[in-house]
Amino acid sequence: MAEWNECPVPSGRTSLGCEGPAVCPICFWSLGQGDAVHTAAGGKARPGGEGCGPFCCSRRGACLSAFLLLLLATLAALLAVAIILGRPPRIPETQSCVTTTNRTGFLCHDRRHCIPAHGVCDGIRTCPHGEDEDEHLCRDVPRSFPSFLLAYCGDPASWIYSDQKCDGTNNCGDCSDELSPVTACPPCGPGWWRCTPTVFKYCSCIPRVLCRDHVQHCSDWSDEYVCPGP
């Protein structure tokens, strides 16, 4: 009779998953597979080895073969998710840009889209990947903002977006975002009429579209009698 070569097992250890003698903690082959090979070679099938599946192992081995299969399946799943979702965009070193209207903007991570500064943390995801609404950027406004997005008013406790400075509109409430000494803005542009406005919204100029509309917007009525209109 052919002798059976067993793996040595420490005393007191038993195998899990089959009722035959224990297998080595590092065995990858089941006892059933070993019996099949042994029987094919002319030996006698080992008693108690019938039906022993491929995941038979000792407590110490912790089903190493099953663990490896699970690990490979997990890696494959992660790879599939990465392919489907795409690689996360690389965060650029600087996120400042100039918009098409020549105002300060926020550069999206794809480095192609430049959105207005006041579009950051406004509750609307404008960048393709939504980074203009990221939690790290919006969690503690304005302290969490990069400096290029901010402009401070005459009252240091008040702030506006940087692209709202020198836009002709009284965003600070005291016109400090439009007038010196806090802000040095260029003269009124071609679309504006310079005067002392009578409305709170403007500081030193009014839009020319308001000229000759039969409503007083300048303290001297120049918007109705002097301004040539748009």
pLDDT tens for 170-200 read 999 999 999 988 888 988 888 999 999 999 9
Q: Tokens for 84?
A: 């489907």
User: Can you give the pLDDT at residue 61?
Assistant: 53
Work out the average pLDDT over 24-40.
45
Separation of alpha carbons 193 and 199, rounded Å? 14
Separation of alpha carbons 97 and 162, rounded Å? 12
Picking from 42-51, 133-142, 201-210, which range would have the lowest pLDDT averaged per residue? Answer: 42-51
User: Can you give the pLDDT at residue 94?
Assistant: 59
Tell me the whole-structure pTM to 2 decimals: 0.57
User: Can you give the pLDDT at residue 180?
Assistant: 85
Residue 14's pLDDT band, with cuts at 50, 70 and 90, is very low
Q: Which residue has the higher pLDDT, 179 or 89?
A: 179
User: Can you give the pLDDT at residue 83?
Assistant: 78
The answer to whether 212 touches 227, Cβ cutoff 8 Å, is: yes
pLDDT at 151 over 90: yes
Q: Which residue has the higher pLDDT, 55 or 117?
A: 117
121: closest CA among 95, 149, 102, 97? Answer: 149
